[in-house]
């Protein structure tokens, strides 16, 4: 599991990277004798200068507290002793008193020698970079190229400064993207090609589904459905306009057996060739409507703007046939009433020999039509049921109410119209042009993006005046802080030099843009050292809560220097705090903290009968839950034991045994995906099995592998992500223990090996009991009593790190509720790492713990905690 980071290694690595020169390693302080005695008695067997087990030597008379490496090492010592990982279980244990004394000494020293702050200037990660481009240029659909380098993760998050390195491939990618963005705003000049005439005969018009068929030299249309063009329309797919401009279009059209000599409306629209054939008629721009009245071909012509990438789209707009059941059902009824042979042939088609109903999908299109036609032409066609009160008639008319059936049957009926009319006929199309250039949607969008980024050009503006004003405003937003005149001058000079070398105004701006987008002022965020200045504070808050750069109000307050006003700050935090499950911060943070990012990769084994939709529902549940915790400022204990869950009723029934036995299942009658996916707030017993972080599919799936459960992985995961007691990395040269549930050997028996070796036991005595407490959850989070295959009842008893004996998951859940501050501290630390991009120092941990304790004392909820963290010194210091 990639997310389970070796935390201790990380702290050391961080310390090394801090790279303070030796000269600063002053502050040598001697270790008091009582402490030396404790270390001597309990630690030196393995961690003196000779053994240095794990590279740890505690045999130091003096500690150089100025050395970050020393701080990191002693912080680690503090943690392993506090969490009870050391001394190992087979060695003499520390008495409570001695443990207290040792920890008190370390606590005092670490408080004194660690400080708040220390994040290196941090580059925007992929998500932040993408969102910053979107915001700065108002390019809402901007996506990074697929090959754009991925970010590394540190301590479980991709926002940590140490991991966000700048590399040559990354810089190259920045250059590449900068060019693409510059092209959007200042595209290279193009020339208008001369007009050409293109023709599309009947054979060049698209036949899609049953929308059209060809009869001799005519293509017939008979259906007016608007829901998707592929069911009603045709288009010349070999013609694609490459230059936006004015074009002349001609269409040869005629009527075919119109009813009552009425005119038929031919609708001409412009479609993007690349648009989906499933798109609705309405999204394509209407060019003109013609009334076609003659049964012999007539030429209709129009002049219209066609844009880059477009062709024409034709539909008979007032055809009586559509795929809408509200229209189709009465139409069919009318046809039945008018013609008993029509009715009898439909009955034969749908109820062949009256031996049950033919499968409707197989009647789709011409197949159904041919079956129908065969019966219609049969002189012995049985008319005995051809009455409106026949049960077959009624069944067909009932079927005609069902959208799915009508999609198929409408496709068959359209052939009847093509054959017998009425239908609209097309004989050929020409498109000639471009006669003049026009601004297509892309050009208009470009202009709007350009004016948003650089402002409007005034008539009185010289090139330089416009550029100076534009660059100054633009850089301020791009760099997310005021830009001094020297920097503006430097970028303006780039444009001026380029103009001087004979290039156009646009080319000069193109170059400025490319260069600004690779400037460290853009790529790095929060660069003011020490306490964040107003702009950097706005930036840190905005990127944390929204994952977007600061905009509008918070920028306004920062510029006015008001963000340090506690009331203003509080109101801005409240304004930006995410409460929607689709908020980028919630998806991103929860995805990394709870590993729900991994879900799409874990396709549960077929034996679990878990669908792709259910995997999606599991992720949705986790995100909804997280959002609800903020939105309703839920108490922290709700993370573990809430009285509600947020998922679809069907999902809860199938996976969580909801409602309790004896209740009524909704499942059987629910057919549509929309119902499967409808999320509800379901009331549950807070002391029950399901609900909360651990009682939901998402986390239990993410901590298994889709096939079987791995108690060790779950145990490690809970220790790291829920309890904040990460376990050190697995020692080298230890073979992985894969639970083999074959035969009578239970995972438990296998894992017992861990507790026999002292090397393993120091951690596994903490890991395994938690893993086993969760063994009742299968790899998709459903409850089970027995291990699969062997059917051996699951033994989920164990002893927790603090000595509490548990009989299973429900006891563990209760224990978590009673020790909720552990969970709160863990989550608070994760949020802080994610927001500040650094691993909290000891002093920062102390502040975080203080905040958690205060919120708990004030009976505050998760939202209160989140706000308090942002208001902390740790958050507000670089």
Separation CA 9–CA 729 (nearest Å): 8
Distances (CA, A) of 596 to 558, 582, 588, 728: 35, 14, 9, 23
**Shortest Å distance, C-beta 144 to another protein:** 10
**Shortest Å distance, C-beta 188 to another protein:** 7
Q: Are 45 and 125 in contact (CB under 8 A)?
A: no
Q: Between 235 and 815, name the residue whose CB sits nearer to another protein.
A: 235
Q: Between 341 and 503, name the residue whose CB sits nearer to another protein.
A: 503
Separation CA 1–CA 706 (nearest Å): 13
The 3-class SS string of 803-822 reads: CCEECCHHHHHHHHHHCHHH
Name, in order, each residue with C-beta under 8 angstroms of 183's C-beta and a sequence gap of 6 or more. 510
Q: Between 238 and 288, name the residue whose CB sits nearer to another protein.
A: 238
Distances (CA, A) of 827 to 305, 714, 719, 757: 57, 17, 12, 32
Per-residue buried b or exposed e for 199-219, using 16+ beta carbons within 10 Å of the residue's own CB: ebebebbbebbbbbbeeeebb
What sign results for the dihedral spanned by CA atoms 562, 568, 570, 571?
Answer: negative
**Shortest Å distance, C-beta 121 to another protein:** 5
Q: Between 520 and 731, name the residue whose CB sits nearer to another protein.
A: 520
Q: Between 316 and 336, name the residue whose CB sits nearer to another protein.
A: 316
Q: Between 239 and 822, name the residue whose CB sits nearer to another protein.
A: 239
Separation CA 449–CA 469 (nearest Å): 16
Q: Between 213 and 709, name the residue whose CB sits nearer to another protein.
A: 213
Name, in order, each residue with C-beta under 8 angstroms of 205's C-beta and a sequence gap of 6 or more. 212, 219, 234, 235, 236, 237, 314, 426, 429
**Shortest Å distance, C-beta 19 to another protein:** 7
Name, in order, each residue with C-beta under 8 angstroms of 115's C-beta and a sequence gap of 6 or more. 841, 843
**Shortest Å distance, C-beta 58 to another protein:** 28
Separation CA 714–CA 30 (nearest Å): 42
**Shortest Å distance, C-beta 240 to another protein:** 5
**Shortest Å distance, C-beta 16 to another protein:** 13
Separation CA 497–CA 479 (nearest Å): 23
Distances (CA, A) of 828 to 111, 641, 864: 19, 18, 11
Name, in order, each residue with C-beta under 8 angstroms of 79's C-beta and a sequence gap of 6 or more. 8, 85
Q: Are 75 and 81 in contact (CB under 8 A)?
A: no
Q: Between 274 and 668, name the residue whose CB sits nearer to another protein.
A: 274
Classify residue 257 by its DSSP letter. Answer: S
Task: List, as one string, the DSSP characters of 92-128.
Answer: PPPPHHHHHHHHHHHHHHHHHH--S--PPPEE--HHH
Q: Between 68 and 688, name the residue whose CB sits nearer to another protein.
A: 68
**Shortest Å distance, C-beta 818 to another protein:** 39
- Sheet bearing 285-292, strands edge to edge: 285-292, 264-272, 310-316
**Shortest Å distance, C-beta 464 to another protein:** 16
- Give the CA radius of gyration of the chain: 35
**Shortest Å distance, C-beta 732 to another protein:** 21
**Shortest Å distance, C-beta 517 to another protein:** 10
Q: Between 560 and 603, name the residue whose CB sits nearer to another protein.
A: 603
Q: Between 343 and 517, name the residue whose CB sits nearer to another protein.
A: 517
């Amino acid at each position: 599991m990639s997310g389970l980071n070796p935390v201790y290694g990380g702290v050391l690595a961080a310390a090394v990277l801090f790279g303070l020169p030796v000269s600063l390693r002053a502050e040598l302080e001697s270790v008091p004798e009582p402490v030396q005695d404790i270390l001597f008695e309990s630690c030196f067997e393995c961690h003196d200068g000779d053994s240095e087990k794990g590279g740890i030597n505690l045999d130091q008379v003096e500690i150089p507290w100025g050395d970050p490496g020393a701080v990191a090492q002693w912080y680690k010592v503090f943690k392993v002793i506090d969490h009870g990982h050391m001394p190992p279980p087979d060695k003499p244990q520390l008495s409570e008193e001695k443990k207290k004394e040792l920890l008190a000494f370390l606590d005092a020293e670490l408080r004194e020698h660690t400080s708040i702050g220390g994040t290196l200037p941090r580059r925007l990660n992929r998500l932040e970079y993408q969102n910053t481009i979107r915001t700065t240029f108002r390019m809402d659909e901007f996506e990074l190229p697929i090959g754009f380098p991925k970010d590394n993760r540190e301590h479980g998050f991709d926002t940590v400064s140490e991991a966000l390195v700048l590399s040559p491939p990354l810089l190259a990618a920045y250059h590449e993207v900068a060019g693409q963005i510059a092209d959007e705003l200042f595209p290279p000049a193009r020339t208008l090609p001369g007009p050409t005439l293109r023709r599309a005969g009947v054979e060049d018009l698209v036949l899609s589904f049953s929308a059209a068929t060809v009869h001799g030299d005519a293509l017939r249309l008979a259906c007016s459905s608007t829901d998707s063009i592929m069911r009603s329309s045709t288009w010349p797919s070999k013609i694609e306009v490459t230059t936006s401009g004015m074009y002349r279009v001609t269409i040869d059209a005629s009527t075919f057996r119109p009813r009552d000599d009425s005119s038929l409306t031919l609708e001409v629209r412009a479609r993007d060739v690349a648009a989906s054939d499933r798109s609705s008629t309405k999204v394509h721009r209407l060019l003109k409507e013609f009334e076609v009245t003659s049964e012999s071909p007539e030429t209709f012509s129009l002049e219209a703007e066609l844009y880059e990438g477009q062709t024409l789209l034709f539909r008979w707009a007032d055809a009586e046939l559509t795929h809408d059941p509200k229209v189709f059902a009465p139409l069919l009824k009318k046809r039945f009433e008018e013609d008993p042979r029509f009715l009898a042939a439909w009955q034969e088609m749908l109820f062949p020999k009256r031996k049950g109903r033919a499968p409707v999908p197989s009647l789709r299109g011409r197949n159904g039509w041919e079956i129908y036609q065969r019966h219609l032409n049969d002189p012995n066609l049985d008319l005995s049921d051809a009455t409106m009160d026949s049960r077959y008639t009624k069944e067909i008319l009932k079927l005609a109410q069902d959208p799915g059936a009508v999609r198929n049957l409408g496709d068959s009926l359209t052939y009847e119209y093509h054959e017998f009319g009425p239908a609209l006929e097309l004989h050929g199309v020409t498109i000639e042009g471009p006669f003049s250039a026009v601004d297509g949607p892309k050009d208009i969008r470009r202009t709007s993006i350009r004016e948003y980024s650089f402002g409007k050009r005034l008539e009185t503006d010289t090139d330089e005046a416009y550029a100076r004003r534009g660059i100054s405003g633009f850089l301020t937003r791009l760099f997310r802080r005021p830009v001094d005149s020297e920097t503006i001058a430097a970028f303006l000079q780039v444009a001026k030099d380029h103009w001087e070398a004979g290039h156009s105004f646009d080319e000069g701006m193109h170059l400025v843009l490319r260069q600004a987008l690779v400037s460290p002022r853009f790529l790095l965020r929060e660069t003011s050292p020490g306490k964040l200045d107003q702009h950097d504070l706005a930036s840190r808050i905005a990127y944390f809560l929204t994952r977007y750069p600061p905009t509008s109000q918070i920028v306004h307050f920062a510029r006015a220097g008001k963000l340090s006003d506690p009331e203003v700050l509080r109101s801005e935090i409240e304004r930006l705090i995410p409460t929607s499950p689709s908020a980028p911060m919630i998806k991103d943070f929860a995805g990394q903290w709870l590993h729900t990012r991994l879900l799409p990769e874990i396709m549960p084994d077929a034996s679990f009968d878990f669908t792709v939709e259910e995997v999606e529902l599991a992720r949705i549940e986790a995100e909804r839950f997280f959002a609800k915790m903020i939105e309703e400022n839920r108490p922290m204990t709700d993370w573990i034991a809430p009285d509600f869950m947020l998922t679809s009723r069907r999902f809860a029934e199938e996976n969580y045994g909801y409602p309790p036995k004896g209740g009524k299942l909704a499942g059987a009658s629910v057919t549509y995906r929309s119902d499967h996916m409808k999320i509800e707030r379901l009331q549950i017993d807070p002391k029950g099995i399901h609900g909360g972080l651990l009682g939901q599919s998402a986390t239990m799936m993410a901590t298994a592998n889709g096939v079987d459960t791995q108690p060790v992985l779950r145990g490690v995961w809970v220790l790291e992500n829920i309890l904040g007691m990460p376990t050190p990395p697995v020692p080298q040269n230890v073979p992985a223990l894969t639970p083999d549930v074959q035969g009578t050997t239970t995972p438990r028996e296998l894992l017992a090996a861990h507790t026999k070796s002292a090397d393993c036991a120091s951690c596994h005595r903490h890991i395994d009991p938690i893993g086993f407490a969760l063994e009742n959850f299968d790899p998709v989070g459903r409850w089970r009593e027995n291990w699969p295959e062997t059917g051996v009842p699951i033994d989920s008893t164990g002893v927790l790190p603090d000595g509490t004996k548990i009989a299973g998951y429900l006891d563990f859940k209760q224990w978590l509720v009673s020790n909720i501050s552990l969970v709160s501290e863990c989550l608070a630390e994760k949020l802080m790492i994610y927001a500040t991009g650094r691993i909290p120092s000891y002093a920062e941990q102390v502040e975080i713990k203080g905040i958690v304790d205060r919120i708990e004392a004030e009976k505050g909820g998760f939202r209160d905690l989140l706000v308090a963290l942002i208001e902390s010194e740790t958050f507000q210091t670089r």
